[in-house]
């Protein structure tokens, strides 16, 4: 299974949003990122950024303190295992995994980490909490700008806003992005462009898993 198979022709949300915003440059997915947009993130590249919305966690509660402790439901756990199986099949590994401090996000990150053979600790950051701002997210990216492959796990609506902001020049309104629970978006940074690569939605993860005909297998790094 090759990663290229999940790009624009399958789930083109990122490409569509970039084109609608007027910053879609080539069929390959390169965005016409100007120097102002690039400097605002201070990333020297190349870097792959994976943005994952936490998996299913039932219905939220009105009490914010209780809601912070809301765990993944059974379907959410199952989705994480299936997603990890797909990532292993595509030979995707992460240099660092950063999560919102809320329980449902940490559980999502921990399951992906364990099942993909990630050996370091999952890092917590308030920059991925529900109340985090775009400024917080930019600082987070700058903190890890020397890494090759980063997975961040958080919540909507701000994850969709952060993702949309990456598709437009600094100061422009973020592109409108749909990011369902358990969806994983990938973008590639280079010295002059931000390239949207793919969006793995839960139904597509289930399809890939069904095609593989195998149970999720845990990956170990030597």
The tens digit of pLDDT for each residue in 13-50 reads 444 443 444 333 323 333 333 333 433 455 655 899 99
Q: How would residue 158 be classed by pLDDT, with cut points 50, 70 and 90?
A: very high
Structural domain contains residue 218:
no
Structural domain contains residue 196:
yes
Quote the Cα angle for 132-138-141, to 5°. Answer: 110
Pairwise CA distance, residues 222 & 217, whole Å: 16
Give me the domain span that covers residue 129. 3-212
pLDDT at 130: 95
> Of 3-12, 20-29, 105-114, where does mean pLDDT reach its minimum?
20-29
The tens digit of pLDDT for each residue in 189-220 reads 887 688 888 899 999 999 888 876 555 566 66
Tell me the two tokens of residue 210: 């069904």
Number of domains present in the structure of the chain: 1
What does R_g of the chain's alpha carbons equal in angstroms? 17
CATH number for the domain including 11?
3.40.50.1240
Supply the pTM of this predicted model: 0.79
Work out whether strand 149-154 and strand 194-200 pair parallel, antiparallel, or are unpaired: unpaired
> Are the CB atoms for 198 and 205 separated by under 8 Å?
no
């Amino acid at each position: 299974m090759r990663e290229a198979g999940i790009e624009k022709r399958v789930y083109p949300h990122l490409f569509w949003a970039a084109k609608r915003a007027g910053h879609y440059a080539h069929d390959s997915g390169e965005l016409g990122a100007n120097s102002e947009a690039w400097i605002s993130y201070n990333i020297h590249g190349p870097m792959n950024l994976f943005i994952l919305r936490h998996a299913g966690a039932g219905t939220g509660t009105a009490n914010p303190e209780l809601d912070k402790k809301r765990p993944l439901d059974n379907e959410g756990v199952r989705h994480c295992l299936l997603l990890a199986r797909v990532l292993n099949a595509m030979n995707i590994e992460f240099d660092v995994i950063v999560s919102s401090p809320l329980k449902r996000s940490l559980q999502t990150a921990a399951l992906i980490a364990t099942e993909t053979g990630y050996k370091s600790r999952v890092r917590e950051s308030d920059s991925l909490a529900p109340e985090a701002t775009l400024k917080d997210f930019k600082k987070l990216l700058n903190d890890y700008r020397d890494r090759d492959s980063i997975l961040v796990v958080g919540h909507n609506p701000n994850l969709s806003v952060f993702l949309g902001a990456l598709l437009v020049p600094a100061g422009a309104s973020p592109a409108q992005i749909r990011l369902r629970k358990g969806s994983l978006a990938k973008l590639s940074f280079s010295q002059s462009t931000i390239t949207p690569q793919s969006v793995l939605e839960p139904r597509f993860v289930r399809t890939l898993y069904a095609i593989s005909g195998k149970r999720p297998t845990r990956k170990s790094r030597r």
